[in-house]
Amino acid sequence: MVENNERLETVIGDKTSFAVVEAYKSARTNLLFSNTTDGCNIIVFTSSSPAEGKTVNCINMGIELAEAGKKVLIVDSDMRKPQVARTLGLAQAPGLSELLSGIVDMSNIKSVCNKTKFENLEVICAGLIPPNPTELISCDRMGTLMSALKEQYDYVLIDTPPALVVTDTLLYRPYATGYVLIVRANKSKRENTAKLVNRLKQVDAHIIGFILNDKKIESKGYGYKNYYKYEYKS
């Protein structure tokens, strides 16, 4: 397992600042209380354009959900530019592409599930980059895979490519409980975000909400200084 230190810094952990951790906890709480199902929730993470923080937020939300005691699986569905394996320092293959192409049998899903250092969190990486990612996602084996995953996990978080670039994201519509849209402050354009929302609405996808990523902290302490008054004592 080779760790990419630079990318690992964006994954929340012991060294992450209080403000960021609390922000993710807050987002987790909102997600838990949003209009999701009692059974397994399949949540698709997407954005309008590349480099808006889909992968990092998908992973961090997965970590927070796992910490809340949920059984979480992250699926890297971006089979063109996979990021999850690199970010978490996991083996890229075998992964989703092998499952969907039949190289790995569906009865052997666990063989492509990577355990992580986070309890309750597992990852299916993208696998080797195939020539036909869209066709793989739209094949029947995807339905079989989703059904199998639903039985084993409380949350399946799917990291997908930018929705305005490729159509992969929309192909998850039949399986997804909802979509979480990642927007990057000072980068995402309003019109692109509007196009993304419209595109999802056209296929009648349920949009759970936005996560605004990378917001500049303007106020001192982001309000977290007051939290030190409520320091927990062991």
Partner 1 sequence: MVKEISLSKVVKALLKKIWLVVALAVICGVGANLYSTNMIAPKYSSTSMLYIYNAGVGNVSGQLSQTNMVASQGALMLYLELYKTSTVLEAAEREIEEYKQGYLSGDEAYKDYGFLADRTITAGQIGSMITAYQANQTELLYIRSTANDPRVAKLVTTVVTDVLQNEIPKMLGATSNKVMQKATYSTVPTGPNVAQHTLLGIVAGAAFACLLVLVTLIFDNVIRVEDDLYEDFPEIPVLGIIPEINATKSDKRGSIHKNNRN
> What span, in angstroms and rounded, lies between the C-alpha atoms of 174 and 205?
9
Residue (12 or 171) nearer to partner 1, CB: 12
Give which of 116, 109, 81 is closest to 95, Cα–Cα: 109
Structure tokens at 36: 């999701």
Cβ 182 to partner 1, closest distance in Å? 9
Subset of residues 33 to 72 that bind partner 1, contact rule: CB under 8 A: 34, 53, 56-57, 60, 67
Contact in structure between 87 and 115 (CB atoms under 8 Å): no
Cβ 8 to partner 1, closest distance in Å? 11
Subset of residues 93 to 132 that bind partner 1, contact rule: CB under 8 A: 119
What SS3 state is found at 179?
Answer: strand
> Does 135 participate in binding partner 1 (rule CB under 8 A)?
no
Interface residue with partner 1, options 3, 4, 17, 115 (CB under 8 A)? 17
Structure tokens at 228: 């030190």
Find how far residue 199's CA is from the centre of its chain. 20
Cβ 92 to partner 1, closest distance in Å? 24
Residue (49 or 144) nearer to partner 1, CB: 49
Give which of 187, 183, 189 is closest to 210, Cα–Cα: 183
Give which of 159, 173, 169, 171 is closest to 205, Cα–Cα: 173
Neighbours of 195 (CB within 10 A): 14
Interface residue with partner 1, options 2, 38, 131, 190 (CB under 8 A)? 190
Residue (72 or 208) nearer to partner 1, CB: 208
Cβ 19 to partner 1, closest distance in Å? 5
Could you give the angle at the alpha carbon of 118 between the alpha carbons of 224 and 84, nearest 5°?
95
Q: Which residues bind partner 1 (CB under 8 A)?
A: 9-10, 14-21, 23-24, 26-28, 30-31, 34, 53, 56-57, 60, 67, 119, 180-181, 183-191, 193-194, 197, 207-217, 222, 224, 228, 231-232, 234
